Structure 1
């Protein structure tokens, strides 16, 4: 509550300073008084004879408000406060949800997305866990050589704007690759590189259907090369 009261105080100060600077200008004061008079006339007479003049006056008054630095600062502060307050409410809601998950005996492992920069995803001994990543840009390397892969329901989903992606796969794991990009090159094991230009491609081997262990890799990018290699 104190944060909200402080926010209101700052907003009132900025708006007051904005109104003072607007009233200090003769033209701005005239337009403001004209708008108030037209609004009062319309309210008491309930007619539409002054609609055009009222519309033009309101438009000029809006432009005057938007050109005032104090009004702009108040608007920006309001947007920033709403965004910050929204994120804090989301975090509070997520904490309650996390507690409920634990009460219901769910295993929950939330993690933040790294939007920019190079990233390596590897493990020394852990069992494979599905991967779902959203990125803006960066180089990604997924090393599955030391991960215990079992079954065929293993999934890696990568969505990003820009950057190469490399998947290191052990010899006993089959890979079904699904790539969609506007500009990039796909290298699937020892096959010839395939250039994609606003296309999608799915790659897998017929003998992979008999494989005991497999991973499905889905990659959606705007621009970036994709490479799947044995390690």
Structure 2
């Protein structure tokens, strides 16, 4: 089973537990479910108005469950997973499948001014193909794979910062050889891979410094927070 399917079943199980908790803690929903179950039991054991009891019990259970928005989220995720399973076209399933590509170049220091940028919540994204003026990267992604390619540009001298906060998905950062790397990473479930060396994490926090970090004229400080997903850093 791939990591994406593991994440899917983990999310579905968490939503199911949340749904059960919401039903148990909501008296109207709990009464509806219990009454529906009793009506089904009664309909299965009596011959008088059997169809009526079975229909009434089924309606009570369905209404009590489906008025909760959590079950609709579960069904939505299940439909997306089914489309991916039977069509095999994951690039067309879900908003996170949209490709988003940004890139890097440098500029002379100028007058500082505030900026505001829109970021997609979902979608596989890549930073480092089309050219744009370099600025520290600060990303928040709900779900999707992310690639940050810094190998095709000359980073400004000194410290450069990349901040990524993500719910689900894999992150890959490509750093030019000779650039000092500092990693500050935290994950609930995932793996940190630095130049082929893998470190599994289970609700852990880890820091890493490359050998040339103190002497390098250009440095990258990578700060990542992931709920479920892998982070891979490669020198290119």
Q: TM-score, normalised by structure 2?
A: 0.50
Matching of residue 170 in structure 1 with residue 205 in structure 2: no
Q: Distance in 2 between matches of 1:162 and 1:137?
A: 5
Match of 1:161 among 160, 167, 179: 167
Which residue pairs with 1:5 in the alignment? none
Deviation at 1:165, TM superposition (A): 0.3
- Which structure shows the higher helix fraction? 1
Q: Distance in 1 between matches of 2:162 and 2:144?
A: 17
Asked if structure 1 preserves the Cα contact closer than 8 Å seen for 2:166 and 2:225, the reply is yes
Matching of residue 196 in structure 1 with residue 206 in structure 2: no
Q: 4+ residue stretches of structure 1 with deviation over 6 A? A: none
Which residue pairs with 1:14 in the alignment? none
Deviations 1:157-195 (A, max 9, x none): 0011111000011112121111100000011114x2000
Over the aligned positions, Cα root-mean-square deviation in angstroms equals 1.7
Q: 1:230 to 1:205 in 2, by over 3 A?
A: closer
SS of match in other structure, 2:158: coil
Match of 2:230 among 215, 225, 228: 225
Computing the radius of gyration from Cα coordinates, the structure with the larger value is 1
Which residue pairs with 1:212 in the alignment? 217
Q: Distance in 1 between matches of 2:130 and 2:141?
A: 24
SS of match in other structure, 2:212: helix
Q: 1:151 to 1:116 in 2, by over 3 A?
A: same
Q: Gaps (5+ residues) in structure 1? A: 1-104
Deviation at 1:106, TM superposition (A): 4.8
Which residue pairs with 1:147 in the alignment? 153
Q: Distance in 1 between matches of 2:233 and 2:153?
A: 16
Asked if structure 2 preserves the Cα contact closer than 8 Å seen for 1:188 and 1:203, the reply is no
Asked if structure 2 preserves the Cα contact closer than 8 Å seen for 1:185 and 1:194, the reply is yes
Q: Distance in 2 between matches of 1:230 and 1:161?
A: 25
Q: 1:122 to 1:227 in 2, by over 3 A?
A: same
Number of residue pairs matched by the alignment: 126
How do 1:20-59 and structure 2 match up within 5 A?
A: none
How do 1:124-143 and structure 2 match up within 5 A?
A: 125-143=131-149
Q: Distance in 2 between matches of 1:187 and 1:173?
A: 17
SS of match in other structure, 1:203: strand
Q: Distance in 2 between matches of 1:106 and 1:214?
A: 21
Which residue pairs with 2:52 in the alignment? none
Q: TM-score, normalised by structure 1?
A: 0.51
